[in-house]
Structure 1
Amino acid sequence: MDVTELWDAAPGWLNTASYGLPPRPAFEELQAVLTDWRHGATDWKPWDASVGRARAAFARLVSAPVADVSVSSTVSQIMSVVATALPPGARVVVPEIEFTSNLFPWAVAARVEPVPADRLAEAVTRGTAAVAFSLVQSATGYVTPLADVVAAAREHDALVVVDASQACGWLPVEVAGVDVLACAAYKWLMAPRGAAFAYLSPRVRERMRPLAANWYGGADEGGSYYGPPLRLAGDARAFDLSPAWFSFVGAAPAIELLNELGVERVRDHDVALANRFLTGLGLPPSDSAIVSVDAPGERLAAAGIRAAVRAGKVRASFHLYTTRDDVDRALDALT
């Protein structure tokens, strides 16, 4: 079966780096739940079961123990809790071009040192508390050499903090050597906005305080509604936010589908289309599903091609529902 048949994408969507499109099973499951909500036809517990499904699917996606995965709504909330665990004035190395959800939390709580993205590893030195970066940069599509950064951080006992929002779903990702990996699910995981995940290593959890402690992080699921004493889970669930249920209803089947397809297959599909686009513009190929080019974006818009403009350049991004026809239509508009 042509994998694109699982989606109902209108032609010309080259903007997954802004938001992903749901596969049909995820959309239909969400519609059924919304109908139940509309009529008061069910308890909330079936919706909440989707949170557990999504957590387990994400853990599998990044090769993490389920007990080390926390659920949230935004990357900035996850990063803020980690950042406030650092000592005052701690030095945090960040890329010069970094999405602010993984920059502002560090700037509030620590002392940030921006460096070129391709010099992250060499910038980690004695006295570095953490290195925080996007595994794939949203503005440019640059893929950070994770192994090099992990090796440098381990040499100097620095935390490795990764925003994988633009990576998980198309790039094979594993949490080995990483202390924190956060991911907003509404892009390459193709979920509704409002679902996010965090891998929190046992090492980093020892330093953290559950600043948003709530009933959902209780040690006894369903038994922490009222009254003292404080009784939080002994694993990453202690850092859960109370979930936006419907976002996770859409997230669970979408991430399960990615696991079923295999992310290596997704990467091959996405990068091949990105390179078809680059080659058509006379540019060298890359290793990313996100490309940034100097091109007249208004021509794309006039042709019904939906892409984005970031840092003054056209940013095009290619995912499972993108077809060769989509790429060729974009090339026709630009050339």
Structure 2
Amino acid sequence: MRTAFGETFDVPDGYLNTASVGVPPVRVTEAVLESVRRWGSGGYSPPEFDAPVATARAAFAALVGVAPAQVAIGPAVSVLLGPIAAAVPDGASVVVARGEFTSVSFPFAVQQGRGVRVTEVEPDRLVERAADADVVAVSVVQSGDGRIADLDGLRAVRQRHGTRVVLDVTQAAGWLPLSLGWADVVVGGGYKWLLSPRGTAWMAVRPGSDAAEAVPHLAGWYASEQPWGGIYGLPPLLAADARRFDTSPAWTCQVGAAEVLPWLAGLDVAAVHAHCAGLADALRAALGMPPAGSAIVSVAAPDAIDRLTAAGVRAAARAGGARLAFHLYNTGDDLDRAIDALT
């Protein structure tokens, strides 16, 4: 057990794999287990889960800098982005970063039958190329190597050229300070840095944007203005706000998210960023790499994963290298273990 930022975590020494799976505080695990026990004994009353859904929705909104009414819930990033990509006009041009995580690029790429053109560009040219595109879709922090997108540049492109901006915060929210109310769409999965159960994701849609008018192709009962009053019959009386994009919640998963997201949203995010990126940059310095201000480090040595594994360090093999990720529960001991393995 270890304690960080006021919470207790059952994190093993050398766990540097949050970019794959985040480890929740112990009390979050206990809340999920209690929810499962209640399910196992017939103790569920479905409407009671509306409260944790609302709590998690509001906390995600706070983490990315938008209003709760702008946020929809879903099980995964690609599911939420599907209707947004389907609403892109026929023949539209979309740019994505080369090597972008496929949950961001695939929803747009499969629209090619309508003439939608998706072009991969080098990350350092993304802002330049976005100026001539209809849509730019990119992860705020790249999964493969931890590169942080030029958000100021993308915001300027949005203002000057009207390019629609779609941002994935899956590898950013929870450690990187974010204020993204200017973007058309902000989507993120919960099971990494947000320390929530897999099966939780959220999407913020800017009011007045084209995305807000997209057809909610996955609409079901939970997308109704009054979900418990709209479970039978037609017409579909959908919510007037972003809840029209809601999919039916995974109840127990939302219980876990409601336990952890308000805590994360209440932390001093500058202190969290300094802790996470500070450890990561210390590893970069030890390996002769320049600082990046990112919590993710990619080490290109071909035997890096084998050396880390032998030293008891949990990391991931990504994009031809070893990916290490430092979150708020990591310590200098984890850093030293990684440095010893790699040097």
TM-score band by shorter chain is: over 0.9
Question: Structure 2 residue aligned with 1:187, among 192, 202, 205?
Answer: 192
Give the corresponding residue for 1:301: 309
What secondary structure, in the 3-state scheme, does the structure 1 residue paired with 2:339 have?
helix
Matched, 1:87 2:93: no
Cα RMSD (Å)? 1.4
Contact 1:131–1:153 (8 Å) recurs in 2: no
TM-score, normalization: structure 1? Answer: 0.96
1:47 pairs with one of 49, 58, 64: 49
Q: Does 1:314 align with 2:322?
A: yes
User: What amino acid does structure 1 have at the position aligned with 2:78?
Assistant: S
- The 1-side partners of 2:255 and 2:332 are apart by 31
Distance 1:27 1:47 in 2: 17
Q: Which runs of 5+ in 2 are unaligned?
A: none
Structure 1 match to 2:210: 204
3-state DSSP class of the match of 1:264? helix
Counterpart for residue 141 of structure 2: 136
Q: What is the identity percentage for the equivalent residue pairs of Structure 1 and Structure 2? A: 45
Contact conserved, 1:293 with 1:315, CA < 8 A, in 2?
A: yes
2:232 equivalent in structure 1: 226
Which stretch has the larger CA shift, 116-125 or 64-73? 116-125
CA distance in 2, matches of 1:91, 1:43: 47
Within 5 A, what are the aligned runs for 1:1-335? 2-3=4-5, 6-109=8-111, 110-126=116-132, 128-202=133-207, 203-295=209-301, 296-335=304-343
C-alpha deviation, 1:254, in angstroms: 1.2
- 1:283 to partner: Cα distance: 2.1
* Inter-partner Cα distance in structure 1 for 2:228 and 2:72: 17
**Could you list the per-position Cα deviations for residues 124-164 of structure 1 after superposition, in whole angstroms to 9, with x for gaps in the alignment?**
234x2111101000101000111111211322211000011
Matches of 2:142 and 2:62 in 1, distance apart?
Answer: 23
C-alpha change, 1:206 and 1:47, in structure 2 (3 Å) is: closer
| 2:258 maps to amino acid | A
Provide, for residues 182-222 of structure 1, a one-character-per-residue CA deviation record: whole Å limited to 9, x for no partner: 00010100001000000011213443001011000111131
Shift of 1:258: 0.7
Q: Which stretch of structure 1 is more off in the superposition, 309-318 or 38-47?
A: 38-47
Given that 1:72 and 1:242 are in contact with CA atoms closer than 8 Å, whether structure 2 keeps it comes out as yes
CA–CA separation in structure 2 for the residues paired with 1:164 and 1:289:
13
SS in 2 for 1:292: strand
- Runs of 4 or more, structure 1, over 4 Å off, are none
Note if contact 1:4-1:322 (Cα within 8 Å) is conserved in structure 2. Answer: no
Structure 1: gaps (5+ residues):
none
Query: How many angstroms apart in 2 are the aligned matches of 1:231 and 1:116?
Result: 43
Residue aligned with 2:83, SS? helix
- How far, CA to CA, are the matches of 2:37 and 2:297 in structure 1? 39
> Relative to 1, partners in 2 of residues 1:239 and 1:328: Cα closer, same or farther, differing over 3 Å?
same
